[in-house]
Structure formats: C-alpha cells, structure tokens
Amino acid sequence: MRKRLSRRHIEEMFFLTLMGISLLIVTASLAGILLTVIIKGAPVLTLDMITKTPQGGYYLGKEGGVLNAIIGSLYLAGGGTFLALIVSIPIVLGLNVYARNTRWANFVRLSLDLMWGTPSIVYGAFGFTLMLALGLRASLLAGIIVLALLELPIIARAVDELIRVIPAELEESSFALGATRFETALAVILRQVLPGLATAILLAFGRGIGDAASVLFTAGYTDRIPTSLMDPAASLPLAVFFQLNTPFPEVQQRAYAAALILTIIVLLTSLGSRCLASYLGRYTVK
Amino acid sequence: MTHISIRNLNAHYRDHQALKDIVLDIPRNQITVIIGPSGCGKTTLLKSMNRFLDLVVGTHISGDVLIDGESIYAPGVDVTEVRKKVGLLLQRPFPLPMSIYDNVAYGLRIHNMHKRGRGLDAAVQHYLEMAGLWDEVKDRLHVPAGRLSVGQQQRLCLARGLAVEPEILLGDEPTSALDPPSALHIEKRLLALKEQYTIVLVTHILRQAKRLADYVVFMYLGEMVEHGPAQQVLENPQQERTRAYLEGEI
C-alpha cells in the first residue's frame, strides 16, 4: 500500500513540474518580448514619436514620429473589427437560431474555420487582385475590407462556440413565453454571450492591428494621416518593418519604439475588454 | 369541464414511439398530475400541449390537441400564441440573462401587453406577488436574476410565466431540483393558482401527486394506462400496472 501511494505521489510531482515548466515558458516568452521592446524602444519613445508624422529626413534619423501609423492602424483595425462584427453577428445568429446543426450550417462553420487558418498574406494578395480588377488604388477602405475578412472568422467562430454551449433550456424558457426565435436570439442568446463577444472582438482587433501582410498591398503606406476612406493609410506593423529594414541604427531603434506603441495599444484594448466583459457579464446565467 | 382534449395523439421520435394513441380530457381549473416510471412518455405528453415537441428534430406527431375546442396543431396556428396561452415550468429554473424585473417584464414587452413605466412596474409587482416572491425581492429588483437561490429562481420563472396571462400552466417536475422547503413553497403556490388556471404537472414523486392532484393520469411505456379523479386512481386503481407502480413494483 505504501508503495502504490508513493508512485502516485511521484506522478503528481511529475505533472506539477511539467505544469510549472509550461507556465515558465509562457511567462518568460512574454517577458522576453516585452523587455526587448521596452529596452530597445523606450529610450527613443519621445513625445514627438506619438504626436508627429514623419518630417523630411525622418527615415534617415531626423525628426518626426509615427503618428501617421498610429492613426492609420487604429482606423484600419477599428474599421475592420467593426465591419467584421456587423457581418458576423447575423452569421452567428443565423447559424444557431435557424440553421442549427444542418449540413448547411456545418458547411458554413467549416468555411469559417478554413478562413481562420488562411495566412494573412493570402488575404493581402486576394485584396490586391480584387483592387486591380476594380481599378482601385491602395486605400484605407481596401485595408479595412481585407482586415474585416481576416477578423470575421475569429469573431464568428468564437461566438458560435459560445452559443453552442448555452443550455437548450435557456432558449426554451424564452420560447415557453411565446417569444419568436428572433426575439430569443436578440434578447436572450446575444445577451448571454455578451461578455464572450467582447473577448472575441478583442481577439479580432488584436489580430487586425498586428497584421502587416494583409495591409501591405491593400492599404499601402503613407506619411500623411488619411483624411478619407480612399486615401492610403500607414500602419504600425509596416512602420516597424520599414524602419527595421533601414541601415541606420537610429531608425532601427525607432522601429522598436513603434513596436512598443503597438504593444501598449494591444495591452490597453485587452485590459479594456476585460473590464467590459466583466461589466457585461453581470447578467449572464451560469 | 374539459379544457384540454387530447385526441388519438401519437408521437414518434425517429423509430421510437413515445406516445401511443393517447385520448384524454384534462379538466379545467384543476391540477392534473401525470405519473409513471422514467421514459414512459410523461414529459412528451406534457410538451405536446404547448407545441414544444416541435423543437425536437426528428419528432413526428399525429392526432390532435384541442384547447377550448380549438386545435393547436391545425395549419395556420401561431405557435407563439399557443405558448403564450400555455405556460411551462421546467425541471430546473433557467432565469433569463437579465435583472429580476426584466425577467418578469420580458414576456409583457414581447407581447406588447403593457406600456413602459408605471403600468409595467405595477404588473411586475403583481406577478411577483402571485408567485410569492415579491417580499423577498422588492428591494433588489434590478439585480441579476442569477443571484437568487434556486428556489427563488423557480418562483421567478413562475412569475415570468404568469405575466403573459396564460390559461394553462404546465410543470415538468418543477420541484425536482429544489430543496424541500422551496418545493413546498412552489406546491402551495400551485394549489392557490388552480382557482384561475388549469394546471398539468409531471412528477415522479408519488407523495407530491397525492398532495396536489385532483386528477391523475398514469402512463407506462408510451401508453396511457389509467386516468381519473385522484382519489380513485391513487387509492383504488383499476389496472394491474397502476397498482404495481403505486406499490413500487415497476
């Protein structure tokens, strides 16, 4: 009896150690990334960096900032996320309220999964082809549309999975009062998944704002702040990429500062959505 | 007087016949209790009365259910109207993901039964009182309904169901998830409500059937074996299978 017990204890210790190691890997990786960006980027992260657009000679190490890319990225990711959201909500409700587990619904789910797995450069190339065919130039609008396509499956599938685990009785409670499927979808189902929806939006926004490949051809790059949807728009990931590619150490350092700004934006959105999720989750039935 | 007439009702779920040729008249303003062992079709029979079987994919129904002489399965019947008329309490309470107040107001709002503001407030209070919950929640109407105890949640579900002004209340073992005092509370409410409503309950608790039933239906393997006034069926069953069930043999 003693021996068995000790073998089980060793098992327990073994898996505890494994768990500890994986925790360490995760936190150390994050810490490593943050430290690199902070150490290299923070010294040159001046007020100018976030309040000015590139001035003459900026890319040679002279004055200016990346305000163009900050605003561009917020426009692109914000617009893309908004567009993805308003398209995915009807998709998700349609799937769960009307189509349910039909062959058609499962085909849509499979399509969304494949979209999720498609590399963003493919979206970029697709968007570019489409623009050429329509005779459009690189613009904020094109970037937003391509980002929306990239983010759509993230929001749709995340919320879809959440809705699928809602107990059937919750819906039935609403049907039992004489509610239609549509009323139930809006007032009960959507409300129940609201906190999860906030998290899904954050995930999608994070992927959108951090993506370089899809906006490279579609939104282009410019030193100006876009004033209309048809203007090209700069973005932070591309700002990092271009600056890192220059031979000047000052400019390379600014690439890290731009990366730091991007990281801070993602961090703030993440914290914001956490607060929002817990606020929205107060009515959620457990 | 008959309120619900069930006429030659058969229900198939895929290859399984869940209800076999049920013919039954359910009396008005009484509590009818359906008893029988698990899987005998009690719940299926109950859910045929508010068209909840429609929700189960693969279910085929023949025969008819009439409420006040009108078929609820006839073509052109508005299912939402049927369900408004026939309330349902589930086994476990599922409050809607909103406040206590909004849970009761939900049905009133979707059916446009009350104007905003004062009228709605009064209605919410009225139905919470009917369900015996008002005194416990009057100071916290706007907290999430999920924070109530399970027993209170079930009374909230009762209030929510009463708010759409049904004529009939169905209960699918509505006390089985509750602690004994909460269960008793629900039972008291049901006894008080039968003055105004026709109540049909499914239960597997014989003592509960004895406490509540005016009329008893005994189901076995999808068949209706026996039905009649409670005293007659529970104390002097005519069928051998009813007797066996009441004595705990099946």
**pLDDT digit string, tens, across residues B11-34:** 999 889 999 999 999 999 999 999
The pLDDT assigned to B115 comes to 66
Q: Which residue on chain A is closest to B142 by alpha carbon?
A: A283
Q: Is A12 on the interface with B (CB under 8 A)?
A: no
The pLDDT assigned to B35 comes to 94
A-facing residues of B in 40-59 (CB < 8 A) are: 50, 52, 55, 57
CATH number of A67-283: 1.10.3720.10
Cβ pairs A/B, distance under 8 A: 84
Residue A284 near residue B146, CB atoms below 8 Å = yes
Residue B176 near residue B9, CB atoms below 8 Å = no
Q: Going by C-beta distance under 8 Å and a sequence separation of 6 or more, which residues neighbour residue B198?
A: B3, B4, B26, B27, B28, B29, B30, B32, B167, B168, B169
d(CA B57, CA B37): 24
d(CA B137, CA B128): 9
- B119-133: average pLDDT: 92
Q: Are A173 and B94 within 8 A, CB to CB?
A: yes
Query: Nearest-CA neighbor of B170 among B49, B64, B73, B67?
Result: B49
Q: Are A179 and B107 within 8 A, CB to CB?
A: yes
Q: Is A2 on the interface with B (CB under 8 A)?
A: no
**Global pTM value:** 0.84
| Chain B residues inside the 8 Å CB shell of A188 | 96-97
Interface test with B, best of A181, A189, A192, A283 (most B CBs within 10 A): A283
**Tens digits of residue pLDDT in B154-181:** 999 999 999 999 999 999 999 998 999 8
Residue B85 scores a pLDDT above 90: yes
Tokens of B13: 């779920």
Q: Is A282 on the interface with B (CB under 8 A)?
A: yes
| Chain A residues inside the 8 Å CB shell of B87 | 176-177
Residue B249 scores a pLDDT above 60: yes
The pLDDT assigned to A48 comes to 85
**Tens digits of residue pLDDT in B131-145:** 999 999 999 999 999
The pLDDT assigned to B73 comes to 94
d(CA A262, CA A70): 8
Instruction: Give the bridge partners for B71, in sequence order.
Output: B66
Instruction: Give the bridge partners for B7, in sequence order.
Output: B64
- B44-67: average pLDDT: 92
- B58-85: average pLDDT: 93
Q: How far B145 CA sits from the closest chain A CA (Å)? A: 7
The pLDDT assigned to A161 comes to 93
Residue entry with tokens 């929510």: B160
Binned average pLDDT, 10 residues per bin, chain A of 286 residues: 73 94 96 93 87 81 86 96 96 88 90 94 93 89 95 96 92 94 92 92 93 92 90 93 89 91 93 89 82
Q: Which residue on chain B is closest to A178 by alpha carbon?
A: B80
| Chain A residues inside the 8 Å CB shell of B83 | 175-178
φ, ψ of residue B225 to 5 degrees: the values are -85, -45
Interface test with B, best of A98, A174, A177 (most B CBs within 10 A): A177
Q: Are A188 and B146 within 8 A, CB to CB?
A: no
| Chain B residues inside the 8 Å CB shell of A286 | 146
Instruction: State yes or no: ipTM above 0.90.
Output: yes
A-facing residues of B in 188-227 (CB < 8 A) are: none
Residue B209 near residue B203, CB atoms below 8 Å = yes
pLDDT higher for A100 or B231? B231
Domain ranges in chain A are: 67-283
A-facing residues of B in 108-167 (CB < 8 A) are: 110-111, 144-146, 157, 160-161, 163-164
Residue entry with tokens 């009463």: B162
The pLDDT assigned to A46 comes to 86
- B49-59: average pLDDT: 90
φ, ψ of residue A245 to 5 degrees: the values are -85, -5
| Chain B residues inside the 8 Å CB shell of A179 | 80, 106-107, 110
Rounded to 10 degrees, what is the CA torsion of A125, A128, A132, A136? 170
Q: How far A154 CA sits from the closest chain B CA (Å)? A: 24
Q: Are A285 and B97 within 8 A, CB to CB?
A: yes
The pLDDT assigned to A3 comes to 58
Q: Is A177 on the interface with B (CB under 8 A)?
A: yes
Residue B46 scores a pLDDT above 70: yes
